[in-house]
Structure 1
């Protein structure tokens, strides 16, 4: 027997929020989830760097596959990606944030080379995802997040 969400549950609220949105908003919403998870890794990744990678890479994988999915699956895919990000964050993020690293960071290709040098699939996946967020925003603070995250993932 499937458990149905009660009125007022987070799932019900999420479904109501999505209810009148056009399909074209799904990619932007997924990108926003990815971007937020990338930044959150910069402030909270110190506690579970490998596990928190998935909070960003899971919705990014969904975002990349949207063009291959029928539009009827876009909203359920967004809901699943958001739920996965929320669950990973709730399970592995510490209560306290650390300050973002100073905005000056190495160039993205240098950080990707560092990730590749570690041989750690999580470091590589995270920097690949971060590069998508960086392409959307151009925020140099993400370069510092990238460098810090590779170090934390490699040490974990």
Structure 2
């Protein structure tokens, strides 16, 4: 039996995860659950799940490299339902990690896995922002329309 979608105000899920790949499955499950509760199509839910996964994976890669492995600070992932869409925010500390928008041709010709991940993020969501929060550090914010 599937739960009925909730209509009262935005729903939010907050996760603080260690900077390790093994925790990405928890993030993917949280995205899938929020999408299911919001009655997002399976196609759009899969796109959002892949975009959030690519952001987190790239951050984990870069932050672990910079910290020399296990010294990387955790990620804070906030997922919330807003009118007409779902917003994902991934907060991290340290230097900014770039997520450039690439053309399809540039993505095809690169051997950089990070560039391909960035292409997926920009292709699968309607809005990508990278902002600095004075309290939480850098934030990669994406929005997927319903």
Same fold (TM over 0.5): no
More RCO (CA 8 Å, sep 6+): 1
Q: Which has the larger radius of gyration?
A: 1
The answer to which structure has the higher strand fraction is 2
Greater fraction of residues in helix: 1
